[in-house]
Amino acid sequence: MATRRFHSPGDADLAGLYRDLAAKDLQPLWELSGLLTPTPRTKAVPYRWSGKELRELGQRAGDLVPVGRGGDRRVLSLSNPGLNGSPYATATLWGAVQYLGPGETAPAHRHTPAALRFVLDGAGVWTLVNGDPLSMEAGDLILTPSWTWHEHHNPGSTPMTWFDALDLPLVEALESVFFEPGHESAAATEVRTRSLSERRYGGGPGLLPNDGAPAPAAHSPLLRYPWHATDRALDLQLADAQGNAARTGHACLRFADPTNGRDVMPTMRCQMHRYLPGHTAPAMRRTGSSLAAVFRGSGAVLLNGVRYDVAPGDLVAVPSWTSVAVIAEESVDLFTVSDAPVLEALALYREEAVPDRVTSEPAPTRRY
Amino acid sequence: MATRRFHSPGDADLAGLYRDLAAKDLQPLWELSGLLTPTPRTKAVPYRWSGKELRELGQRAGDLVPVGRGGDRRVLSLSNPGLNGSPYATATLWGAVQYLGPGETAPAHRHTPAALRFVLDGAGVWTLVNGDPLSMEAGDLILTPSWTWHEHHNPGSTPMTWFDALDLPLVEALESVFFEPGHESAAATEVRTRSLSERRYGGGPGLLPNDGAPAPAAHSPLLRYPWHATDRALDLQLADAQGNAARTGHACLRFADPTNGRDVMPTMRCQMHRYLPGHTAPAMRRTGSSLAAVFRGSGAVLLNGVRYDVAPGDLVAVPSWTSVAVIAEESVDLFTVSDAPVLEALALYREEAVPDRVTSEPAPTRRY
Amino acid sequence: MATRRFHSPGDADLAGLYRDLAAKDLQPLWELSGLLTPTPRTKAVPYRWSGKELRELGQRAGDLVPVGRGGDRRVLSLSNPGLNGSPYATATLWGAVQYLGPGETAPAHRHTPAALRFVLDGAGVWTLVNGDPLSMEAGDLILTPSWTWHEHHNPGSTPMTWFDALDLPLVEALESVFFEPGHESAAATEVRTRSLSERRYGGGPGLLPNDGAPAPAAHSPLLRYPWHATDRALDLQLADAQGNAARTGHACLRFADPTNGRDVMPTMRCQMHRYLPGHTAPAMRRTGSSLAAVFRGSGAVLLNGVRYDVAPGDLVAVPSWTSVAVIAEESVDLFTVSDAPVLEALALYREEAVPDRVTSEPAPTRRY
Amino acid sequence: MATRRFHSPGDADLAGLYRDLAAKDLQPLWELSGLLTPTPRTKAVPYRWSGKELRELGQRAGDLVPVGRGGDRRVLSLSNPGLNGSPYATATLWGAVQYLGPGETAPAHRHTPAALRFVLDGAGVWTLVNGDPLSMEAGDLILTPSWTWHEHHNPGSTPMTWFDALDLPLVEALESVFFEPGHESAAATEVRTRSLSERRYGGGPGLLPNDGAPAPAAHSPLLRYPWHATDRALDLQLADAQGNAARTGHACLRFADPTNGRDVMPTMRCQMHRYLPGHTAPAMRRTGSSLAAVFRGSGAVLLNGVRYDVAPGDLVAVPSWTSVAVIAEESVDLFTVSDAPVLEALALYREEAVPDRVTSEPAPTRRY
């Protein structure tokens, strides 16, 4: 097979071939490099945004910019320094903080990118999803799934800042973004004390309504996961001396569709972690990216061995195949959202424990 | 096709054929009748057992018979009058009351027929399932799935009577009964305050543990459904003016595997109903059979239009395609177990609303 | 716990209890025996019917009895000697031979018990399933699933005898038999050369039609599995030196729904085996029952170690947990139908290889 | 809510806010535009590459460039003019022609991006997938799924050009590319006449091997779909006067995993279309992108109403939400590969028929 003879690469023939290929919108594979790498290559970099700064900047935006000005939302989007100025936090995830002042309303719209809200602080705001009012309080997870109408109301006297995550970069990569603005109809000004969603699906673990066939949906019919239940479930895990959580000092919940146990939405996995001081959970790396929001506690996150101190409200971007470990100085409650369901559905999910490479240096303020 | 001529049926040839068929263990279909009926034919009859009598007879058995005497359990099994003396409540379900006195233990064993316990009264008894202690209190549903080790302990000073349901007639019809007695090892005398099962899966709706892959199982990993959650979930359904339950005055929960939403065990569906006085839920009939246990309230059950007054502790057998309606004089809480998952898995499930045929006569004391 | 004192069993109190229990349709578990056996207990016995006798008796029935006389079919049903005169072959399966003479038609009807036909001999008969004509030739498997209209036509000049299997005993045990006779409309007298079912789903392995969403169904949309494909697929398995079939001398196919790989119907698994002389497939036993039809070849079947010589057309009943081995004197093609999908759906399936206990004695002519 | 007063947008405060946001790697959503578009926006453009030119350029590359030179393959990749010089055909799909000369071997490697080969012409080449040799002949579809070892051998005397499709852009967007080169071991020089894959799974529709549990895999275990079966299945569809295909003159097959009916690989759907002259299949548009390879026939493809004449070997790129219609001057056989399984898994799939906007103008040679 090696007996055929080829022209040397500098030939005029070869140059002519390359010229003709380009003219025909073709490229020679053998001149391309870096297409197939031994392990994933990422453009996004590991990064942390300060909660303190996010709150301050959100407040300043609240003072200066009306909520309705462009995009219907007063949102500060995380712009990963590796992504050349794009407003995306990772390759597949949009992350942001949203600020809603007293008396303000973010009007209804819907879009195919799915969204979720994790409340970092406060209470008294309501998100309406297809008209069903979901109370937003600190620690709550609120879903606004793909193509559902949603709007936010703050009828109270204090502003709220929360964490938004969307699968927008993914849906854009799949060329599947649809958007529709809501009607100008007056939004509901009074809201019920509990959503229909919670009345039907929030009664208790393994207790499902039986009144006829549910409308099949791609997402969880339970749209609010209140903090008090999440908090108690973490405690329960840790309270059993025989359990894995108690053994390692690391409790972890996956937020699930109560009707089938699948992830709450087909593109995003939500989890709540509680790391006790001295826990022994190993550093892990996974295909696909994630965002973490520090809810309570303090300590540090190690990303590929680089230490980032964290405090409540901090947001962290974790690109694919980046090793992640958590150091808990006091008990750390960490909310994470990832594209793991996508990777799993496409049989591309891999994870592995990695030896920790802790450095004593602080993280660079900007790593690119 | 009608041109062929056949011998007349009285022929000696025909008699000879029938004789020869019998000798060869064959039967002529055309002489069989009743094989394929327009609608299901049942041997079991609609029936009600009195809770008051069941409690009294359980107590008498407790006074007279040690728990260990035969079958490891002090159980009074429902013997449907239509089933010719068999100890079965319906064609596919075993029903019984079990009585456990103060200080008594029903020793460990396991069997392929799956069982569940619904507690009619009392508190303080523990069922251990594969060593995990499940507290039994009034209104609790306790699972002891197929081939799990299980034993019952009453460390307290008051007896308990509970409702047992098994799929034994079905598993026997499928010739798949296996049984294994437990070892004589001393049973655990102290029990934890909460089962490992509940610590891992009972934290809240849609909150699943995330510590590694769960062992795949045919049944729910949540083995206890405590009454307080069931009660609250029924109330939540009824509290929403827009919901179906509030509209009809009939709340209904299906007990589900929290990891996949399927029925708690592959052969039995468990449901809890709350019927308010004046509710408008229609009479229904379904393929497959069920048992109902009256937990609270009073009223009547109409089976094929025949009225059976019911009070707490009453047990009711509902054969296939029998119309069932409930009359609530005061709010009735009704636990039901059925073979619906079997019928659904085999594509044999049918249900329909039927016009009520309420009679003013009381039910016959014995209908066969 | 052993400190309580109980009355001795002969007491008048105990007799009184038993009397009162009986009066209330209750039975004391501790006096019942044989409910929970270490391994499955079967009433049906291992048995073989002679193909030669079945053909002769079918022919005699064809001469004496019109096809329309009772049950719409001229069917000789296998009556397992262990089942006390019931016309069932095993606990869950009906088996029979059906004889259709030249020019005869078995009229349309439908029923919830599902049926299949395996053609032992001949050609030229058509089964219409919901109007779609399926050609019946030797070795073909024809499905007439639950609640589908079906009728049989023999437009030719030679009679045909085929093997029928139904899940009737199972559906009766589940109290779910529905039946509906067909209309008197003239049946189609001309049939197409290939069914619509085969045109849509029979093109080739892994080639599915793409014209819109298929109607969801509990059974395979492919209703005929022609012998030429089955035969070739068995040969292909055996032709690969690296494969398991070639290694053991035992090829086995499972007939599957081409759209999802599941069994052809939810209650019955169909398989075709080819055993070469000298094969090394072990004796196996399984929960649930099966029927086998010898299509080609000769040898013997060992049921719990008892030898039954077999020849083409022989039918064999295999109760639950009965060890089965095949001895091939010449290559044996064996069609089997079992309730395995039922056992699997209910998590009751077990199987194991068993040491062969071959005896030199012939089987008793009747084993009960 | 409109009572709050905000600074005017030109304020120094606002400029300061924007400066501080940028310094903290944040972006104000309200200044971003085009993120959420009413319908999908694509960068890739509809495009056609000429089969005649691809064959000629492949031959020239074969004369000039050794197969082993970079990337292990002699591949000309389609570079969509809208994608700024990237070597990708659409947002999620890589398309290419590969040329393998007589006596040449493309050595073994594996990668997480999945690939398939559709043979445009010729015969006699073998692709080994995990050592199993798959014959490549005109019209065959060959799978080399994610992370399977694969190599190509041309032991004959004529070159072959085939169509390659990979999900590389998608897997890169998900940051999940892994690659591993094969060992230098001598490749198999003799190949069997039929792959083990086909012996086990290629016997016939609905005929599956039964020898033990299959290894679970994310992709079809059938790795070759030979043209003769595809061709026959298309004919069968068209031959039934009652069927949809005959009615519209458009037959369409989906290549499926024979064990579960799912798409052959989790990221790519493969289909074969036969359009008869005068067919009435409407123009369709769908979310997600696809590539089409003209196998036989001639006519035109209308992309958003723009006409592209097509001939055998032509390749066509169809971005998301682009309307596609086919004009068949003679019967056109069209192979298509799309990312539809991805869109479906993520609940982002939409499709709709669109009114045709046929123009009389030829397509621009370059549309950007």
Q: Name the minimum distance, in Å, from the CA of C235 to any CA of chain B.
A: 33
Residue B26's alpha-carbon distances to B20, C49, C95, C308, in angstroms, are: 8, 9, 10, 18
On whether any CB of chain D is under 8 Å from the CB of A113, the answer is yes
pLDDT over 90, % of chain B: 80
CA-nearest residue of chain A to B222? A206
Segment (H or E) for A61: helix A51-64
C6-20 core/surface letters (b: 16 or more CB in 10 A; e: else):
eeeeeeeebeebbee
CA distance linking residue C96 with residue D256, whole number of Å: 36
Provide the chain C residues 91-110 that lie in CB contact (below 8 A) with chain B: 91-92, 96, 101, 103-105
Residue A354's alpha-carbon distances to A279, A286, D168, in angstroms, are: 16, 10, 27
Q: Is the pLDDT of residue B182 over 60?
A: yes
CA distance linking residue A224 with residue A44, whole number of Å: 30
* Each residue's pLDDT expressed in tens, for chain C with a length of 368 residues: 344 555 565 678 889 999 999 999 999 999 888 899 999 999 999 999 999 999 999 999 999 988 876 667 899 999 999 999 999 999 999 999 999 999 999 999 999 999 999 999 999 999 999 999 999 999 999 999 999 999 999 999 999 999 999 999 999 999 999 999 997 654 555 566 789 999 999 999 999 998 655 566 899 999 999 999 999 999 999 988 778 899 999 999 999 999 999 999 999 999 999 999 999 999 999 999 999 999 999 999 999 999 999 999 999 999 999 999 999 999 999 999 999 999 999 999 999 999 865 444 444 444 33
Output the CA angle D298-D304-D305, nearest 5 degrees. Answer: 60
On whether any CB of chain B is under 8 Å from the CB of A201, the answer is yes
Beta bridge partners of D2: none
Mean pLDDT of B270-290: 97
CA distance linking residue A135 with residue A125, whole number of Å: 6
Provide the chain C residues 281-300 that lie in CB contact (below 8 A) with chain D: none
CA-nearest residue of chain D to C239? D199
CA-nearest residue of chain D to A104? D1
B258 contacts A261? CB cut-off 8 A: yes
Most D CBs within 10 Å, among A7, A20, A30, to test the D interface? A30
Residue D156's alpha-carbon distances to B99, B355, C25, D102, D124, in angstroms, are: 82, 77, 84, 5, 6
Q: What is residue D360's predicted lDDT score, i.e. its pLDDT?
A: 41
C-chain residues within 8 Å CB-CB of B113? 36
Most A CBs within 10 Å, among B210, B257, B335, to test the A interface? B210
Q: Is the pLDDT of residue B186 over 70?
A: no
CA-nearest residue of chain A to D41? A175
Mean pLDDT of A60-77: 85
Q: Which fold has domain B47-183+192-201+222-354?
A: Jelly Rolls (2.60.120)
Contact D40, A175 (CB under 8 A): yes
A-chain residues within 8 Å CB-CB of D189? none
C87 contacts B21? CB cut-off 8 A: no
Among the residues of chain D, which ranges form H helices? 12-23, 51-64, 168-173, 196-201, 227-239, 244-248, 340-345
Q: Name the minimum distance, in Å, from the CA of B301 to any CA of chain C.
A: 19
Name the residue among A32, A339, A346 with its Cβ closest to that of D87. A32
Q: What is residue D368's predicted lDDT score, i.e. its pLDDT?
A: 35
CA-nearest residue of chain B to C367? B25
C-chain residues within 8 Å CB-CB of D191? none
User: Dmax of chain B from CA atoms?
Assistant: 83
On whether any CB of chain A is under 8 Å from the CB of D152, the answer is no
Band of pLDDT at residue A2, cut at 50, 70 and 90 = very low
More confident call, B66 vs A287: A287
CA distance linking residue A126 with residue A106, whole number of Å: 10
Provide the chain A residues 227-246 that lie in CB contact (below 8 A) with chain B: 229-230, 232-234, 236-237, 239-240, 242-245
On whether any CB of chain D is under 8 Å from the CB of C211, the answer is yes
B196 contacts A206? CB cut-off 8 A: no
Q: What is residue B366's predicted lDDT score, i.e. its pLDDT?
A: 41
Among residues D235, A97, B83, the alpha carbon closest in space to that of C194 is found at: D235
CA distance linking residue A73 with residue B68, whole number of Å: 70
What does DSSP say about strands D75-78 and A26-28: parallel, antiparallel, or unpaired? antiparallel
Q: Is the pLDDT of residue A85 over 60?
A: yes
D239 contacts C206? CB cut-off 8 A: no
* Residue with tokens 């009454």, as numbered in its chain: B227
Q: Residue D190: count other Cβ atoms within 10 Å of its Cβ.
A: 7
C252 contacts D206? CB cut-off 8 A: no
Q: What is residue C55's predicted lDDT score, i.e. its pLDDT?
A: 97
Tokens of B153: 């302990």
Chains that touch B (3 or more CB pairs under 8 A): A, C
Q: Name the minimum distance, in Å, from the CA of B122 to any CA of chain A.
A: 22
Chain mean position to CA D118: 10
A-chain residues within 8 Å CB-CB of B254? 207-210
What does DSSP say about strands C47-49 and C315-318: parallel, antiparallel, or unpaired? antiparallel
Beta bridge partners of C283: C354
Q: What is residue D161's predicted lDDT score, i.e. its pLDDT?
A: 94
pTM of the model: 0.93
Segment (H or E) for C111: strand C105-111
Residues 6+ apart with CB under 8 A from B10: none
D-chain residues within 8 Å CB-CB of A53? 24
Q: What is residue D244's predicted lDDT score, i.e. its pLDDT?
A: 86
CA distance linking residue D306 with residue D311, whole number of Å: 16
Most A CBs within 10 Å, among B198, B211, B273, to test the A interface? B211
Q: Is the pLDDT of residue B211 over 90?
A: no
Arch. (CATH architecture) of D47-183+195-202+222-354: Sandwich (2.60)
The full set of domain ranges for chain D reads 47-183+195-202+222-354
Among residues C340, C37, C79, C26, the alpha carbon closest in space to that of B172 is found at: C37
| DSSP state at residue C367 | -
Q: Three-state SS for A325?
A: strand
Contact D131, D325 (CB under 8 A): no
The number of helices, as runs of H, and strands, as runs of E, in chain C is: 7, 22
CA-nearest residue of chain D to A171? D348
Provide the chain B residues 18-57 that lie in CB contact (below 8 A) with chain A: none
B39, amino acid identity? T
C29 contacts B96? CB cut-off 8 A: yes
A174 contacts D287? CB cut-off 8 A: yes
Strand order in the sheet with A332-338: A47-49, A315-318, A290-296, A332-338, A269-275, A250-255, B207-209
CA distance linking residue D37 with residue D45, whole number of Å: 17
CA-nearest residue of chain B to A248? B211
Tokens of B347: 């594509």
On whether any CB of chain C is under 8 Å from the CB of B211, the answer is no
In this predicted complex, what is the ipTM? 0.93
Q: What is residue C108's predicted lDDT score, i.e. its pLDDT?
A: 93
Q: Name the minimum distance, in Å, from the CA of D3 to any CA of chain C.
A: 53
Q: What is residue C185's predicted lDDT score, i.e. its pLDDT?
A: 54
Name the residue among B210, B232, B261 with its Cβ closest to that of A203. B232
Name the residue among D64, D77, D91 with its Cβ closest to that of A27. D77
Compute the half-sphere exposure of residue A94: CA atoms within 13 Å on the CB side of its CA.
27
C99, amino acid identity? Y
Beta bridge partners of B188: none
B-chain residues within 8 Å CB-CB of C3? 103
On whether any CB of chain A is under 8 Å from the CB of D170, the answer is yes
CA distance linking residue A330 with residue A36, whole number of Å: 42
Mean pLDDT of A156-181: 96
pLDDT in tens, B1-55: 344 555 565 678 889 999 999 999 999 999 888 899 999 999 999 999 999 999 9
In CATH terms, C47-179+222-354 corresponds, of 3.30.70.1710, 2.60.120.10, 3.30.720.110, 3.30.1440.10, to 2.60.120.10
CA distance linking residue C100 with residue C164, whole number of Å: 12
Q: Three-state SS for B173?
A: helix
| Cα torsion angle, B53, B55, B58, B62, sign | negative
Give CB contacts under 8 A, 24+ apart, made by B63-68: B63/C6, B63/C7, B63/C13, B64/C6, B64/C7, B64/C11, B64/C13, B64/C14, B64/C17, B65/C6, B65/C14, B65/C17, B65/C28, B65/C30, B66/C4, B66/C6, B67/B100, B67/B101, B67/B104, B67/B105, B67/B106, B68/B107
Most B CBs within 10 Å, among A116, A134, A195, A208, to test the B interface? A208
CA-nearest residue of chain A to B228? A204
CA distance linking residue C363 with residue C313, whole number of Å: 18
Q: What is residue A194's predicted lDDT score, i.e. its pLDDT?
A: 81
Most C CBs within 10 Å, among B45, B346, B350, to test the C interface? B346
Provide the chain D residues 121-150 that lie in CB contact (below 8 A) with chain A: 146
Q: Residue D358: count other Cβ atoms within 10 Å of its Cβ.
A: 12
On whether any CB of chain A is under 8 Å from the CB of B194, the answer is yes
Residue ranges of chain D with per-residue pLDDT less than 70: 1-10, 69-71, 184-192, 211-216, 356-368
In CATH terms, A47-204+222-354 corresponds, of 2.60.120.280, 2.60.120.10, 3.50.50.60, 2.40.128.110, to 2.60.120.10
Tokens of A178: 């649809």
Mean pLDDT of A65-76: 81
Q: What is residue C243's predicted lDDT score, i.e. its pLDDT?
A: 81
Band of pLDDT at residue B68, cut at 50, 70 and 90 = confident
Mean pLDDT of B56-78: 88
More confident call, A3 vs A263: A263
On whether any CB of chain D is under 8 Å from the CB of A1, the answer is yes
Chains that touch C (3 or more CB pairs under 8 A): B, D
CA distance linking residue A111 with residue A114, whole number of Å: 7
